[in-house]
């Protein structure tokens, strides 16, 4: 092995094992000469990172300024925390934060619960072709955009739509799923469940297939019934996956589903359906009755991504601590 | 495993199978219903007679859409976006992943680069600064705003790094001893054996590009520049009213008496769904790998 490295071309010079035998690292100039291609390969990504990730982060400055497009970012006057103060002093702040958390947490809880129960049910199916057909049908909605799903929802959930026709057969008066503030958040949550439970179940199904079949055989010999096996083998077997999903979901409690809400909401349900993302979009880009308020939009957006950043770090830390999960 | 199923076991099975069947139908039925709506005549739709089968079948909604130049145009833009966006994304992904996966090579700055990438992945400036950045870069109202900002997908890079790390070191050494440069090693040795991971990325980013609509709506002013899903968004939200008057003037000479705003919306929804249905059997094969892509997102 060492022989190979010594006789190899210069590209292997910086091999770590070789480095261990020498006392000094080669100077950067030498490395660059030999490995310029490695650096060149990172160049496109570096430029893309700089332009589309770090340049916008620098633009966050306008959250602390009275930004005017004419003056630009640097020359607009500083206003300190004024934009943040304006947000919290407005009527909007509390309902928007509450709506975001309610919708996001509702989605996480019900999607994961539905996915878990569905996966456990599907796991009991012994007819392979049936299992496969069910999975094919239930994962399809995941791959369609919210424009398509939203368009379908508008059709089937309207007061004269097919859903109201079906519940009308049970003698229930038509429900305005998309027009009643008290119902709208639940419409969001359950349309998300409908779209995502099948795909979310894939990870649980993968965990289920990893359980050693011998455990089930041993349990059967010991006389364990269906529910005995469920509680003593299946659930303990996928416990790490459940813990992992719970940890990671913490990172998305501020993501209530921008595209979904944008497609489905309307002014009638703003009171309970407006979330941070849609608020930022309307105030900061569209402008409500006039110029967009860039500063306010940027401030609220920064608030969200700042807290979101710490939540993601926390969720990764928890996932590493409790489920041995690392992304790198 | 249990030799003979007891009666109670069979009852539980029957209940399970029924519930699963209902769930599967609940996932598919809305699509069939929407298809039926798009093919039914106006009177039947207005009278709420349409269920899962078209009533008074006709194709005028589809003919109407085919005569809409903006629609055909947006379809083309979507296809172009998928081809260009996915190819560029793949290229950037593999050339970025290669140096980051060669852990045994001493490469100052690599750790900093990785940290920058992780930070860029987890923290964003938010929508407004992003919009202003694209404006400053002159990308607004150009086709490239749909492509270039999405070219570096950090999750995909991580996925490929992990795959490249799993390639036996002997293979890499053999190629280097033969005098291959890094670029040659990547394209002649690594890429041919990375088909599973590259197929996953290709499929999932194709779906991502096909489904994206928000960027089109806010970064492109003119409807002639919009991809299909952005166009569909404008139709679903304005409820087709403007569209009808605009297009009926454009296709004067042809009348589409049976075409309705609802029928047109549902027909367009279906047309936008078909490409996904075509790649769906392929997608299914890569679910589990794709999931590792999805689960670390957000």
Position B2 scores a pLDDT of: 46
- B295 bridge partner residues: none
Strands (E), B123-224: none
| pLDDT tens, position by position, A169-227 | 999 999 999 989 999 999 999 999 999 999 999 989 989 988 888 888 888 888 888 88
**Cβ(A251)–Cβ(A315) below 8 Å:** yes
Q: How far apart are CA A130 and CA A136, in angstroms?
A: 10
Chain A nearest CA to B268, separation (Å):
9
Contact B28 A140 (CB under 8 A): yes
| pLDDT tens, position by position, B132-179 | 999 999 999 999 999 999 999 999 999 899 889 989 999 999 999 998
Contact A138 B117 (CB under 8 A): no
Do B81 and B98 have their domain in common?
yes
Chain A nearest CA to B66, separation (Å):
19
**Whether CATH 1.10.390.10 fits A82-323:** no
- A15 bridge partner residues: B105
| pLDDT tens, position by position, A30-42 | 777 778 899 999 9
| pLDDT tens, position by position, A75-107 | 888 898 999 999 999 988 999 999 999 999 999
Do B29 and B70 have their domain in common?
no
Query: How many structural domains compose chain B?
Result: 2
Do B16 and B81 have their domain in common?
no
Do B285 and B147 have their domain in common?
yes
Encoding tokens for residue A182?
């008290």
Do B172 and B252 have their domain in common?
yes
Do B195 and B289 have their domain in common?
yes
Do B176 and B253 have their domain in common?
yes
Position B115 scores a pLDDT of: 93
Do B11 and B104 have their domain in common?
no
Contacts of residue B265 in chain A, CB cutoff 8 Å? 151, 155
pLDDT at residue A279 greater than cutoff 70 = yes
Contacts of residue A52 in chain B, CB cutoff 8 Å? 130, 133, 148-149, 152
Q: Please tell me which of the candidates B24, B128, B213 has its beta carbon nearest to residue A280.
A: B128
Contact A304 B126 (CB under 8 A): yes
Residue B18's contacts (CB-CB under 8 Å, 6 or more residues apart) are none
Position A328 scores a pLDDT of: 57
| pLDDT tens, position by position, B216-231 | 999 998 889 999 999 9
Contacts of residue A41 in chain B, CB cutoff 8 Å? 95-96, 98-99, 182-183, 186
Residue A282: how many other CB atoms lie within 10 Å: 17
pLDDT at residue A120 greater than cutoff 90 = yes
Do B210 and B287 have their domain in common?
yes
Domain containing residue B133: CATH number: 1.10.3720.10
Between A304 and A35, where is the model more confident?
A304
Q: How far apart are CA B203 and CA B290, in angstroms?
A: 9
Chain A nearest CA to B129, separation (Å):
5
Do B145 and B24 have their domain in common?
no
A262 reaches B (C-beta below 8 A):
yes
Q: How far apart are CA A328 and CA B159, in angstroms?
A: 9
pLDDT at residue A12 greater than cutoff 70 = no
Contact B207 A259 (CB under 8 A): no
Residues 139-168 of A with CB under 8 A from B: 139-141, 143-145, 147-148, 150-152, 154-156, 160, 162, 165
Domain that holds residue B48: 1-58
Residues 78-97 of A with CB under 8 A from B: none
Do B54 and B134 have their domain in common?
no
Per-domain residue ranges of chain A: 2-64, 82-323
Position A70 scores a pLDDT of: 81
Contacts of residue B1 in chain A, CB cutoff 8 Å? 216-217, 220
Per residue of chain B (298 residues), give pLDDT as tens: 444 567 888 898 999 999 999 999 999 999 999 999 999 888 888 778 888 888 888 888 898 888 888 999 999 999 999 999 999 999 999 999 999 999 888 888 899 999 999 999 889 989 999 999 999 999 999 999 999 999 999 999 998 998 899 899 999 999 999 989 999 999 999 999 998 889 989 998 999 999 999 999 999 988 899 999 999 998 876 544 444 444 444 454 556 667 777 888 899 999 999 999 999 888 887 766 655 544 443 3
């Amino acid at each position: 092995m060492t022989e190979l490295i010594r006789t190899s071309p210069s590209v292997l010079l910086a091999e770590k094992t070789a480095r261990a035998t020498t006392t000094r690292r080669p100077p950067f100039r030498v490395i660059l000469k030999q490995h310029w291609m490695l650096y060149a390969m990172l160049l496109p990504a570096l430029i893309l990172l700089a332009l589309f990730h770090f340049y916008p982060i620098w633009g966050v400055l306008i959250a602390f300024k009275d930004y005017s497009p004419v003056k630009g970012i640097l020359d607009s006057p500083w206003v300190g925390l004024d934009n943040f103060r304006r947000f919290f002093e407005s009527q909007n702040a509390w309902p928007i934060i509450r709506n975001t958390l309610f919708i996001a947490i509702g989605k996480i809880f019900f999607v994961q619960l539905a996915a878990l129960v569905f996966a456990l049910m599907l796991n009991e199916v012994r007819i392979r072709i049936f299992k496969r057909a069910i999975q094919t049908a239930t994962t399809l909605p995941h791959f369609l955009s919210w424009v398509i799903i939203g368009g379908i929802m508008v059709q089937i959930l309207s007061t004269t739509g097919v859903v109201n026709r079906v519940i009308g057969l049970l003698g229930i008066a038509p429900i305005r799923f998309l027009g009643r503030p008290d119902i709208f958040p639940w419409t969001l949550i359950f349309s998300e469940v409908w779209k995502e439970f099948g795909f979310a179940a894939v990870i649980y199904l993968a965990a289920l297939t990893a359980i050693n079949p011998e455990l089930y055989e041993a349990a059967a010999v010991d006389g364990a019934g269906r529910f005995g096996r469920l509680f003593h083998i299946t659930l303990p077997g996928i416990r790490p996956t459940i813990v992992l999903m719970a940890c990671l979901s913490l990172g998305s409690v501020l993501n209530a589903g921008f595209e979904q809400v944008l497609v489905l909401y309307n002014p009638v349900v703003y009171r309970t359906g407006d979330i941070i993302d849609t608020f930022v979009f309307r105030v900061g880009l569209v402008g409500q009755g006039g110029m967009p308020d860039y500063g306010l939009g940027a401030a609220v957006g920064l608030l969200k991504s700042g807290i979101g950043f710490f939540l993601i770090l926390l969720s990764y830390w928890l996932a590493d601590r409790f489920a041995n999960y690392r992304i790198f | 495993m249990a030799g003979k199923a007891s009666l109670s076991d069979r009852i539980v099975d029957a209940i399970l199978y029924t519930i699963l069947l209902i769930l599967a139908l609940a996932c598919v039925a809305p699509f069939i219903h929407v298809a039926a709506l798009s093919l039914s005549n106006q009177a039947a739709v207005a009278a709420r007679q349409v269920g899962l089968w078209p009533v008074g079948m006709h194709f005028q909604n589809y003919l109407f859409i085919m005569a809409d130049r903006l629609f055909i145009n947006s379809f083309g833009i979507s296809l172009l976006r998928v081809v260009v966006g996915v190819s560029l994304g793949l290229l950037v992904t593999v050339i970025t992943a290669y140096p980051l996966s060669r852990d045994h090579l001493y490469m100052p700055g690599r750790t900093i680069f990785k940290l920058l990438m992780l930070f860029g992945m987890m923290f964003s400036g938010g929508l407004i600064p992003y919009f202003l950045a694209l404006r400053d870069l002159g990308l607004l109202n150009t086709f490239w705003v749909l492509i270039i900002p999405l070219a570096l997908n950090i999750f995909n890079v991580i996925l490929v790094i992990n795959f490249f790390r799993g390639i036996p070191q002997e293979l890499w050494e053999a190629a280097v001893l033969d005098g291959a440069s890094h670029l040659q090693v990547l394209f002649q040795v690594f890429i041919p054996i990375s088909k599973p991971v590259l197929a996953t990325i290709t499929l999932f980013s194709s779906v991502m590009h096909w489904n994206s609509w928000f960027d089109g709506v806010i970064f492109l002013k003119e409807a002639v520049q919009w991809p299909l899903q952005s166009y569909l968004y404008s139709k679903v939200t304005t409820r087709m009213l403007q569209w009808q008057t605009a297009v009926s003037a454009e296709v004067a000479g042809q009348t589409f008496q049976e075409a309705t705003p609802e029928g047109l919306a549902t027909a367009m929804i279906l047309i936008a769904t078909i490409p996904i249905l075509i790649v769906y059997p392929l997608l299914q094969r890569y679910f589990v790998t794709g999931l590792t892509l999805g689960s670390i997102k957000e």
